[in-house]
Structure 1
Amino acid sequence: MEKACLLIILLRSGGLSTLTPLSREYHFVNQTVSWTVAQNYCRANFTDLATIYNSDINQLFVSMANRINDWAWIGLYNDRYSWKWSMEGKLFYVGSTHEFLIWANSQPDCVNAKEYCVALQGQTQMNDRPCGDSYPFLCYNAKNTSYILVKESRSWSEAQSYCRTYHTDLTSIRSKEEKSNITLTLNGSGVQYVWIGLYRDPWAPWSDNTTSTFTNWAYSQPNNYNSVEYCGMFNLMTGEWADVFCGLRLYFFCFTGEVQNANTVRSCHHVKH
């Protein structure tokens, strides 16, 4: 594989949206593979799939591809099984075989890429829902270890604010005992959906476990078409992003370096003969 590198200096006055990494070197790999294979390749040969921190790096990637009319993988991934509790804010995995956190059938599915908050459905099963939807909600009061069902419908963030003002927070389910107590609280309530404190940040973190405030989604993107699009791809002609099925075979961008504040990056092209 032949490599050619171009040193590019990003000016400090460029209005960067987030801190750029120290001496980060970017690599365009001219092979088409799935997102997972691209991630494994980048981690084996460089550091990881690339994170885009600002418009300068976004435009750099367009120039590196030399006008190829196609798409490429970046480190953008929408992990539908990584969630946080409102009370704790730490990421943890909630898969289909969790001991006491049970997803409803075919959940989570992140319909239209808009479902990032969780409601209990039928008192015991979880369903990801749009955070702006209005449902009753369940607060937790740590002073007397009680669960309070509020039947007034509110959005998830409004429910969180209410619980934090009048109690402790939206309820968490961290043990079989807590789940049993919540089921007893909801028994006979007649509510179809009720908010709990489970949520996630969309499209964060990136593959290298960093976050970026910069986005460049194409029109109507992301949309999670057919609820199977959880990886982010980069248009090599326009620099716009879209979500797509992770098994698609695309070119990809890797990086070498650490995540620190600096103003210098290097771009490299890797061509397979």
Structure 2
Amino acid sequence: MNEPKKESCAAVSFKNKKIYARSCDNHRMFVCSNVTGYTFVKEAKTWNDALNYCNHYHGNLACFRSNDMNKIFTQQDFPLWVGMRREAGGSFTWISGSSNYKNWKTGEPSNKGNCTTISSLTKLMATEDCGLRLPFVCIQEGNINVILVKESKSWEEALEHCRGLNSSGFGFDLISVQPGDEQENITNKVMEADTNEVWTGLRFLGDDWLWVDGGNMLNTSLDQCPMQEQHCGALSKNYTGSIEAKDCSERKNFLCYRFPL
């Protein structure tokens, strides 16, 4: 066991069966025990919440001898969150990228919830309440600094959404599109959108087109005297490298960009 720090709680690794000191506020799955044996609980809770859960339903958080480890921490079948959810029309779609994988468990999708889990063993999918605390799977796709938000918002709402995102050590803004290595990644993101165009951080202010992050304006194909309602820049799925002037009140998906603070 590594040396515990103040207010640390013990967690066991599935892989090597060793005990580690971890923050008691972390959400993890846990094991309860009583005189009849052990119960593996497939829901992530803090240490105190896990203790209360075990005390109420099963006895206590597990206490065990070293030779119990291989009996308790065997391969478990538990649900993991994946990036599929139920849309307004009732169909389930992946929130990013494109995939035909829809290996539903018998009787699914059901009305239990609008979010999707996958079994760690059978790889079968099921619906669950989105508020349930479960482990999850992440994937890195292309440049993780470019984020496609599949919500239809006006330009102002999109700007507010991006700037309201939180990540330790990073800030967010509507994307500025400049020539360079990210062009292919940005094009791929645009093609994944639910709307025909996506907002960028380009806005006509005063008498000039400006990027909201202060980036250099290298796109010269835009009308330098646009119509009053067409003062916001969007990328189309017919993207050829140029940005189109659009009505700022139109509702579109949008691209946020992450940058270090």
Q: TM-score, normalized by length of structure 1?
A: 0.22
Q: TM-score, normalized by length of structure 2?
A: 0.22
Higher relative contact order (CA 8 A, sep 6+): 1
Relative to its length, the structure with more helix (as a share) is: 1
Quick check: which has more Rg, 1 or 2?
Answer: 2
